[in-house]
Amino acid sequence: MKRIRLTQELTHNGPPVEKAIANRRSQRDFTGEIMSLAELSHLLHYSSGVTDKRQGLRAAPSAGATYPIEVYAIVNNVEGLAKGIYHYLISSHELELLREGDFRNEMSRAALQEMMFKQANVIVALSAVFQRTQQQYRERAQRYICFEAGHIAQNTYLIATSLGLGACAIGAFYDDEFNRLLGLNGENEAVLYLLAVGKI
């Protein structure tokens, strides 16, 4: 599968975290202006990427460092990227193209006709590989997995705000339809959370 190496130039002089928190709001209207690949790279790295290469630790906490969450970017309008579904390869900071094409209509239908899925530059989909955490934490795993998805979603909001982008988290979608869109079986791995991100 085609892989796209994301930029390692991740310096960004955004506002302090307190200002990003104060300014964070869910944004549902996007301009349609193109998002740069550097912006997407920054968003993915600081929401869920490896921030300590020596120990392999990531931007969001994970129970026992089991890291059950997988990250997908469904690209609508990003400079230098074909429209399509990409898997974010966290350890190597790359995107792997899974399916090329325009999936805006399918996403909108799977999310109860939500229009922002057609307007956003990218939809970040967070899925869980349940067994990674279940092996260690058994009946507590589901709780810990949901915590981690929430940590990554909040990071996404704050990084988007820091970059001057808008973001909106979505929990209302048809699970089976979105799992099929990403090629997931819904049992071993399933979508938990969606975030629309784009220019405002």
What per-residue confidence (pLDDT) applies to 15? 87
Question: Domains in the chain and their CATH numbers?
Answer: 14-199 (3.40.109.10)
What per-residue confidence (pLDDT) applies to 10? 64
What per-residue confidence (pLDDT) applies to 38? 94
pLDDT by residue (tens digit) across 64-97?
A: 999 999 999 999 999 999 999 999 999 999 999 9
DSSP three-state, residue 84: strand
CA distance 95 to 81: 10
pLDDT by residue (tens digit) across 7-33?
A: 877 667 788 899 999 999 999 999 999
Do residues 193 and 126 make contact, with C-beta atoms less than 8 angstroms apart? yes
What per-residue confidence (pLDDT) applies to 113? 94
Q: For the chain, how big is the Rg over CA atoms in Å?
A: 16
Distance of CA 55 to CAs 52, 91, 191, Å?
Answer: 6, 11, 27
CA distance 193 to 123: 10
Q: Phi/psi class of residue 164: alpha, beta or left (left: φ > 0; alpha: ψ in -120 to 50)?
A: left
Residues forming a β-bridge with 160? none
What per-residue confidence (pLDDT) applies to 37? 96
What per-residue confidence (pLDDT) applies to 11? 67
What per-residue confidence (pLDDT) applies to 106? 97
Cα distance from N-terminal residue to C-terminal residue, the chain: 32
Q: Per mean pLDDT, which range of 1-10, 142-151, 172-181 is the poorest?
A: 1-10
